[in-house]
Amino acid sequence: SLRDEKVKVLKSIRPIPQSAVHAHAFRAQYASGVVDDKKVNSYLEEEGVASNSTTETYAAFKFYIDNWRWRGVPFYVRTGKRMAETKSAVNIRFKAPPQHLFRNTQVERLKPDWLLMGIQPYECVRMEMQVKEPGLEMKTRTTSLDASFRQEHEAAFDAYEDLLLDVIEGDRTLFLRYDEVEWAWRVVDPVLRVWATERDFIHTYPSGTWGPQETQRLFEREDQFWRHSLLPEED
């Protein structure tokens, strides 16, 4: 079943030793900023929060899944509060081909191809690729193939509506099983243990932004970056 496969993936995630936590995980706390054209408080200014709190409101991770399919592929995951938008997505960036297909042309470097999967609030699949422009000159441009899961006239259901329907129908596919929870905690527990000892300082990021710039240190190459939008972006 799907739940069995999720547990298999969690079991395959490479453990993060405490000595390597800072190379694989990053945390931060939101500062004051602007959201929807309104000034908002920092986390430390919220009611009931201690003035010296180092509780994280943002977390980013780099994982490796050591199975036959994904071995050697880095997975970057981030979540946070008070960010630029509220959304969920899976963005897959394809590797550049080992051989340059357009040598001795004005196309010095091809942009990467992407497979983008919008989960919430916009449910879609987008394949973004580089193609040659029509004409005699060797120029490329970004084009995409789009598939929306809903038509324009279809109403979007709240996530809890779907879950309640699953409860009524006895479908447990999207519900956590005890062993999935256990293995998920095994993945993050070494990180949380280190963070629990770091109570003197925490990075911050302005509210209404995509998080701290310091998370770039998690990436393995300079041309890697967080993808914010389902629309084409400049890297």
CATH number at residue 223: 3.30.360.10
Predicted confidence (pLDDT) per residue in 153-202, tens digit: 677 777 788 889 889 999 988 889 999 999 999 999 999 999 999 999 99
pLDDT at 79: 97
181/121 Cα distance (integer angstroms): 25
Q: Is 83 within 8 Å of 228 (Cβ atoms)?
A: no
Query: Is residue 191 in some structural domain?
Result: yes
Q: How many residues does the chain have?
A: 235
Q: Is residue 110 part of a domain?
A: yes
**Predicted local distance difference test score (pLDDT) of residue 120:** 87
Range of the domain at 51: 1-86+176-235
The per-residue pLDDT for 95 is 85
Q: What is the pLDDT of residue 111?
A: 79
Which two structure tokens, joined as six digits, stand for 169?
Answer: 């129908």
**Pairing of the two strands 33-35 and 38-40:** antiparallel
User: What are the C-alpha distances in Å from 105 to residues 131, 136, 138, 204, 223?
Assistant: 15, 12, 7, 44, 22
167 within a domain of the structure (yes/no): no
Contact predicate 122/97, CB 8 Å: no
Same structural domain, 147 and 188: no
Residue 105 is predicted with a pLDDT of 66
Host H or E run for residue 130: strand 124-132
pLDDT-flagged residues of the chain (< 70)? 100-109, 152-153, 234-235
131 is a domain residue: yes
- Residues 6+ away with beta carbon under 8 Å from 141: 130, 131, 133
Distance CA(214)–CA(183), nearest Å, equals: 28
pLDDT on residue 87:
93
Instruction: State the average pLDDT for the chain.
Output: 90
**One domain for residues 139 and 216:** no
pLDDT for 103 equals 63
